[in-house]
Amino acid sequence: MAEESYDAVVVGSGYGGSVAAFRMAMAGIRVCLIEKGRRWEANDFPEHVFGLISTVRVESRRLGFGLGSKKALFQVHDQGDSVAAVACGLGGGSLVNAGVIVPTPARVKKDPRWPKEWNKDWDLYEQFASSMLGAQSIPVEFPNARVMKQIAEEEIEDCRPDPIKLSINFGQGSQQTESCLACGNCLSGCPYNAKNSTDKNYLASAIQDGCVVKTERRVLYILKNPDINFEEDNGAEQSRRWRVYFDDLEYITADFVVLSAGVLGTSEIFFQSKRRGLDLSERLGLGLSCNGNNVAYVAGSQAPLHGYGLTKKHFLGIPFQNRPGPAISSSFTSSLGFTIQSGVVPRSYPYLLFKGVTTYGWPNGFSFLHGLIDKLKHVMGFKASEAVVLNAMGYDACNGIITLDEETEKICVTPPHDPLLPKKILAFQNITKKLGGILFMSRYRSTTVHLLGGCNAASDASNGVCNPKGQVFYTNGAKDLVHKGLYVCDASLIPCSIGINPCLTITTVAEQVSRNLVQDVLNFKGTIQHLQTIESTDSHSISEKLTMRTCEKVTVKETMRGFIGGMPCTAYIVLKMNSLDKDNCDQNDSVVGDTQYLLKGRVGGYVVFQAVNKDKLYIVDGKVDMCKIDARTPYTQYMHYRLILAASSGSRYIFEGQKVMNPYLLAMYGFKESTTLHVSFRTLPTNDSEVLINLRGELHISVFELVKSFWRLEGKYSWEFVRSLLQSLWRTYILQIPRQIKCDVGLSDTIEIPYPPSAVHELKTEDGCTISCQQWKCYARNSEEEKIRYPVLLLNGHSGESYCLPTEKTDLVRTLLEEGHETWLLRPRLHPSHPSNNFTIEDIGKFDIPSVIKQILGMNGPNAKIHVIAHCVGGLAIHIALLGGHISATHIASLSCTNSSMYFKLTTSALVKMWLPLIPITMALLGKNRTLSLHISKDSLRHKLVKSIAKLIPRNERCTCNVCEIISGIFGNPFWHANISNTMHHWLNKQSQPKLPLSAFPHLRRICTSGFIVDSKGKNKYLIHPERMPLPTLYISGGRSLLVTPQTTLLANKFMRLHQPGFHHKRIVVEDFGHSDLLIGEESHKRVFPHFISHMKLAEAGVKKEVTDSRKEIVLSWDGSHDGTGLLGDWSSFIDLLFLLFIIAVVIFLF
């Protein structure tokens, strides 16, 4: 199922968003409007105090929490010294404001902060807006307007009456509204459907033109779509450019996003987006204006103000002209720069709050007591004193600030300075004296319903957040650019005070922005005809599909803690399973039938990694697959997480991890593996100057957090999710059924890549054994590289081939030939082509290696130098040859060993096999024929029994290939399957190892139990002669131990630095590699072979490490490494011991 997407998404439905949605829908653009609040009908608005309480939410900065529904109609933000009120619902502020339509003053358009581009055709757009809003003149002079007219000219200095219109239907008619009844309840929402709010004009027309409206959906933040290259501005076939997030996981996509959520809403979305890496101007939240707004309440007057709203039962007997009228019907502007309007208090408003609770009285006295008595009169039906609301507006300093609190993630507002406040208070006092009442002034420094700015329009990013077209700036070096497809279209664009009711000004600005917006969308889409095909889309069917998909999601919350790169890190993540396409789930990965899709989903939340970034790193895109299968490891189950993290600085990181579940000893490791996430953390480069990091580590989920995660599961199919997960683990650990047959990967015949011509030399050793070696002469070199490199001798491990790999283009033989080295590959008596039934590793070092050295010297001259590269048992043999004096170090240019040295330290599980009498029993079972045939099915009963026992022995990774299982049972896993290619694995199992000579096992067992090279009788004859190895050495270990631990190379490196300090000695641990995959892995030519090449070049250049007495290198006297097994490794060795003892008992019983 494709993700929900649109050409454009508009966030907010007030005077800005409704205009943008209408203009785009009218142009045939597929647009979706998202509104945080609900749709309000006339009979939904509150008509009494108790009804009002359920429609109010108060966010208190002092208390640190909010009361009321987050989608309440009235949203009151108490900031301590100021209070701001905004509306939330389809129609925005137009639902509950007075609907005053007043042209923008000339003074505003002359303000230097006002964009001059807006003045072009301003009057024309203002007429459009006034017409759409249904502005009508007030038909009669209502009581409070008559009273104010009589006293305003005397009490307000140098004032004049303002001609105003209201977006209210006074009988001139419209299909969407009824006629006004003059009830005075406009500020709580018109209960008689007479107000021309935007849901009845702009939005109604937009819906008719195909706009999809989603109510009660709060947008949390917006981000560029990480799935595309955002700079490619090329049409609809690409993924949409933006994601609009409702939470950390659920989003819709669009090519254009228009933020019209009001000053606070738009700023909050931008702040949240900026925290997640969206590049925005540093001016975000600055330049806030409260439009010089102050509110006062005059009560106790005897003047016929009729300032309280009426209910329907009060209409009887009251003529239309004597009713309270609309909320505001008179306006007076002083030459001092402020405007005062008289207003009516709705019937549902709690008057007592205005009389001493949130206000203070003037003159001082029993103001609260007066309010209490007046309220009792109202309740008892007696005639109460008259009252009126006074609303003042003016020009403040526009230096307010909006911020986002980092801890509470709540919007904080610092109001601007208001230089006209003393003069407005004086005017309030004069009017109160004239009316003969008590003045109640707000206790707050600023009380506003007219917020402006915060995303101010300006010519560049240093002065504003957006340009005059509403496009959002971002900074690229010294150049200011705009985010393609991102617009602001509401009051937050306006950079200065308006001085009067701003709704017509906001709507006119929105008309201006929408003109450019529509043109931009049409240019991007290329043709209107393509867009018009969308009008036939059934939006209801889309909603039904989305509802169905949403109800099937299961929400899982996890908290994981640990260390990455040695530094503490905590991940707070939310997983929505079944967020991905159910239909596209890989059927081959099916674990529990059609519920497999419940194990895949999206990831949200954040990561705290203060060593890298002090801010939270938010997950802007994340996917999880709890049953990921790799064809190379069909028995292993992976829980794979891939997250893109974003910081407020704009830096992005890739957090990739997986839980690896191997069926080793049934479910003994199950809990540890399923709660341990192996993590790689690296920088996603965004610019050339950014410091790149690449760290590794582990995160763990505790038992408590695991229980809490299951306890907090959400979703209709939570139990199905748990069942699916448990069944997948049961299949992995208990049933141990492979999910794919690894050997059946379409590789019936492996294609071998030809080598350069080579010569095979058969050699007769001093003890009469026949061995062979293969010689490749180096490639032709360029004229600049005529210097002849030293020949290289390659020594394999036990039986397997690690250097000459016909299926691989970049094996070590080809690599050495390309570097100009003549290459020799020894096939000793251990090799399957020369299997012997009676030999030791000592024989290889004593006879085989000297024979091939003699052959190389015979062909290259007696003074030739030879590089030796040895692996595993080959490394043991070369050290026996050198330290035993069987060859001279003068002929060795350098020595490089992988997972081998004069020491041989095994993992605990491998060492357990050597401690137990498993090898003597195996030798007894094999009898005289100690060469095991791996491919022949018609074996003797003894050989079949040995192979059957080998398959039963626990190993780190299981495989579906027979040869691989036998080798792993005898030795342990020689490689991590994920590190080698399918062709390599196929060749190893089908062609490389036809036979497995086991005669050397008794000697190998003595070496392993000793921990260093000894002779065939277990005596130490070699380490006592370190003087016989005066040569440079390189020891390489795999970072993920399988058989031999990194301690092997650590001790060898210390040994050589201590006894041969005059030579260059180096030790490398290559992460993610095990044993032989150091040489046969897909990445070996990138991560391992370069170490060989550089080491040999240093040796040929004659580089030696000079050590003087004054600067002697310190060699640690303690062991500085471990094999990574930890405490569980010790427990594992005990379990291995029991399991192997059980196998031995079974074998003895059978005999």
Least confident of 378-387, 414-423, 910-919: 378-387
Contact between 773 and 761 (Cβ < 8 Å): yes
Q: Tell me the residue range of the domain where 367 lies.
A: 294-445
Q: Which residue has the tokens 């043109």?
A: 519
Closest CA to 77 of 214, 67, 745: 67
The rounded Cα 1034 to chain-centroid distance in angstroms is: 41
Across all residues in the chain, what is the average pLDDT?
83
Query: What element of type H or E holds 931?
Result: strand 931-933
Question: What separation, in Å, do the N-terminal and C-terminal C-alpha atoms of the chain show?
Answer: 62
Q: Is residue 587 part of a domain?
A: yes
Q: Is residue 568 part of a domain?
A: yes
Round to whole Å and give the CA distance between 1147 and 1038.
Answer: 34
Least confident of 409-423, 688-702, 767-781, 907-921: 907-921
Residue 216 Cα distances to 33, 72, 544, angstroms = 11, 10, 16
Q: Quick one: 409 and 331 in the same domain? A: yes
Q: Is residue 34 part of a domain?
A: yes
Q: Quick one: 564 and 634 in the same domain? A: yes
How many domains does one find in the chain?
4
pTM over 0.85: no
- pLDDT, residue 1090, reads 94
Can you read off the two tokens belonging to residue 823? 């290459």
Q: What is the DSSP string of 632-692?
A: TEEEEEEEEEEEEEE-TTS-EEEEEEEEEE--STTTTTHHHHHTEEEEEEEEE--STTSPP
Contact between 167 and 442 (Cβ < 8 Å): no
Residue 1020 Cα distances to 888, 907, 994, 1015, angstroms = 20, 22, 34, 7
Q: Is residue 180 part of a domain?
A: no
Model pLDDT for residues 363-390, shown as the tens digit of each residue: 765 555 565 666 666 655 555 578 889 9
Model pLDDT for residues 427-468, shown as the tens digit of each residue: 999 898 888 888 888 888 888 889 999 999 998 888 999 999
Contact between 853 and 793 (Cβ < 8 Å): yes
Q: Quick one: 99 and 123 in the same domain? A: yes
Average pLDDT over residues 53-80: 86
Of the residues 701, 720, 735, which one is the last residue of a structural domain?
735
How would you list the strands of the sheet with 823-827, edge to edge? 758-764, 770-776, 823-827, 792-795, 866-871, 892-898, 1033-1038, 1065-1070
Q: In the chain, what's the furthest Cα-to-Cα distance? A: 131
Query: What element of type H or E holds 883?
Result: helix 873-883
Q: Is residue 474 part of a domain?
A: yes
Closest CA to 58 of 44, 47, 74: 74
Round to whole Å and give the CA distance between 84 and 497.
Answer: 16
What phi-psi label fits residue 604: left (phi over 0), alpha (psi between -120 and 50 degrees) or beta?
Answer: beta
Contact between 390 and 434 (Cβ < 8 Å): no
CA contacts within 13 A on the Cβ side of 22: 24
Of the residues 398, 423, 445, which one is the last residue of a structural domain?
445
Q: Quick one: 437 and 563 in the same domain? A: no
Query: What element of type H or E holds 448?
Result: strand 446-448
Can you read off the two tokens belonging to residue 1114? 């310190």
Q: Quick one: 56 and 198 in the same domain? A: yes
Burial profile 725-760: b = 16 or more Cβ within 10 angstroms, e = fewer: bebbbebbbeeeebbbebbeeeeeebeeeeeeeeee
With vertex at residue 807, the alpha carbon angle to CA 629 and CA 988, rounded to the nearest 5 degrees, is 65
Round to whole Å and give the CA distance between 642 and 656.
Answer: 5
Three-state secondary-structure class, residue 851: helix
Q: Is residue 930 part of a domain?
A: no
Q: Quick one: 235 and 307 in the same domain? A: no
Confidence of residue 356 (pLDDT cuts 50, 70, 90): low
Q: Quick one: 764 and 705 in the same domain? A: no
Contacts by 941-945, CB closer than 8 A, 24 or more apart: 945/1147, 945/1150
Can you read off the two tokens belonging to residue 113? 């902060």
Confidence of residue 762 (pLDDT cuts 50, 70, 90): very high
Least confident of 20-29, 58-67, 636-645: 58-67
Q: Is residue 961 part of a domain?
A: no
Confidence of residue 1125 (pLDDT cuts 50, 70, 90): very low
- pLDDT, residue 1120, reads 43
pLDDT of residue 529 exceeding 60, the answer is no
Of the residues 445, 473, 492, which one is the last residue of a structural domain?
445
Can you read off the two tokens belonging to residue 1016? 């065939």
Q: Quick one: 642 and 707 in the same domain? A: yes
> How many C-beta atoms surround the C-beta of residue 200 within 10 A?
21
Round to whole Å and give the CA distance between 167 and 123.
Answer: 18
Q: Is residue 481 part of a domain?
A: yes
Q: Quick one: 778 and 632 in the same domain? A: no
Q: Quick one: 23 and 72 in the same domain? A: yes
With vertex at residue 502, the alpha carbon angle to CA 498 and CA 508, rounded to the nearest 5 degrees, is 100
Q: Quick one: 561 and 701 in the same domain? A: yes
Model pLDDT for residues 143-190, shown as the tens digit of each residue: 988 988 888 877 777 788 888 999 999 886 566 778 899 999 999 999
Closest CA to 1064 of 1119, 1022, 1101: 1101
pLDDT of residue 592 exceeding 50, the answer is no
Q: Quick one: 769 and 660 in the same domain? A: no
- Which carries the bigger pLDDT value, residue 926 or residue 113? 113
